[in-house]
Structure 1
Amino acid sequence: MGVTIKEIAVICGVSPGTVDRALNDRPGISEKTKAKIIEVARQLNYQPDYMARSLAKGRTMTIGVVLFDLYNRSFAQLMNSIEAECRRQGYFVDLVLTNKDPDNEKKCIEHLLHRKVDGIIIFAINYGEAFDHYLKSLNVPVVTVCNRVSGDWSYIGIDDRKAMKEAVQYICGKGYERFVYVCPPLSYRGKTNIFTQEERFAGCLEGLKECGIHEPPVIVTDKDYVGAIGRMSFGDGEPRTAIVCSCDIYALEVMNHLKGRGLRIPEDVGLMGFDNIDVLKYVTPALTTVEYDVEQFGLQAVRCAVEQIEQGSAAPVPLLPYRIIAGASI
């Protein structure tokens, strides 16, 4: 049987409450006493009794996370950040993946409720008044990430519309005349929650309008978006064209296709992504993209959830910052 907080308290000549403050990095204790307690705990290989803590607090110390999938590197980065911050705050993570299926999303939420999670962080697929009422019926704290459900829920995100508008204005400043916008999720408009993608598309249109580009962009929503790009002509004799992708993952596939055709980037065709996923450091030419701190998304989502769990409410989280990364592809 492992050593307990009470036993560490006796050895150190302090109260169990003081040991608890030291081990959980809480205020109200001197650095000298804290260092002594931590060293004794280390020597005795102290391991927290999470079951006892859960029973004492009336919580499972678990936060459920509902994501699309982990194919997109930005989701994988987000999940790593969520898990790290949960662990730092003494919570475990129960992850479920919806595969972008609205019915499966509700099944995933029900699974988390049966597991008695203390709160839920969700990148929602469902939307609308009925789903809003459904979330309210759960009686657990909910934090939404990227895809907004309604103003009744804590929301973590950036101003996607403004970010994409500024990205398009940046491209226009480079003298591009024709635009192709690649966003397969737009084919789900009116069917599922694609709030983030709709905002980015709206920003693209606003940016073009403000730059005086009257020709509408070619909008690619095909699942086989690379095939659609393959039927287009670029380079000699064609207007100077920029392909704007709503996510980096699409831009990387398009870049690979363009290179396979022997097209030069950006001489024959410009290319822009969005997200600045971590694998871009291996890509040539360096992709011009929009960056936001995905780790902050995870950190703020967890902090917001924990505040609601432990205090009953949470302060609104401001929209997070972003910036354009000027690569060599535009």
Structure 2
Amino acid sequence: MSLLHIQSYQQSTDESSHPLNSKFNFLQIYAIDLKPYKKKWRLLFNSVPSLKSLESIYFDLQSQSTEERESKEIIFLQCILINMHAPLNLKLSEEQWIHISELMPTQKSQFEWSQICQQFVHQSAYNNPWSQNEDSQLLDIILCFQKMKKGNKWSKIARELNERCLNKCIRTPKQCRERWGNKLDPSINRDEWTDQEDLNFLQLLLQHGRRWAELSIRLSPITNNKKRTEFSLKHRFKKLISSTINIESKSIPGTKYPISSDWNNKEINKLLSKISQLEMKINLKQLDNFYYHPLFKQIKLNDFTKLVIIKGTSKVELDLSILFNSTNSELYV
């Protein structure tokens, strides 16, 4: 079957006479109920575009660059699928994918079209647990991309993963990105949370709101560039706040931190209350670390021997043991 051919559009009030109808049957597509598709797919239109609009899209797809034609390509593809009464899970036969590739004005294989289709199917329609083989292959692909300085081009990464694994479930670029960011990235911080990290986290959260990706970046210098995942930040926030007794007050207590407009008064009071508890807890620990021995007239320094200063995204560590060793020497004189 040759590619869909469209002749120049003549001004006419009767769309049924248009040459597109010989292949595409627009009278049929206009009668199809879109509600089931809207529920399962991310449709790029609320109603089927007019014949003239689709004709314009068709010619644009033949002339525009890949970046310019991406959304138009999906619109045209969705119209073809709806017209074919494609199943909502998009499980089509090989012959049907070949037919779709012939109808589309851009050149792609049936495998590539099936991958593109998965990008506009809602997550619940194709979400399956990741296998060990998929994780291993995805990690290998991403590390190779980074080594070759290709960056994280998730569409290409997803395509290569699907070609390697040949699963019935096709992984989308979004799934690959989230799997890497929440599970496979070697820089993920899996250590136990400390009181100091909790305090830094809540201080940043109070200032910047629920911007989890940004908070992950801002926290990483404190933990030697190990990153907490967005999922772990959300979970930690819920855990910290759920254990906080809400202090009701008519006004927000004074604070040295700027406060994001994302929070309401009740949330602000909870955050400030937890921050205050952590500050008191940390201060008590610091008092225990430095003490003066009356018999030997000697200042003792316990386990914590470094002062960490965070400025922006940089971290400076000062070794306090040098200072206290010097002080102890003077005391013996």
Select the structure of larger CA radius of gyration: 2
- Structure with the bigger RCO (C-alpha within 8 Å, sep 6+) is 1
TM-score (norm: length of structure 2): 0.26
Q: Which has the higher helix share?
A: 2
TM-score (norm: length of structure 1): 0.26
Q: Which has the higher strand share?
A: 1
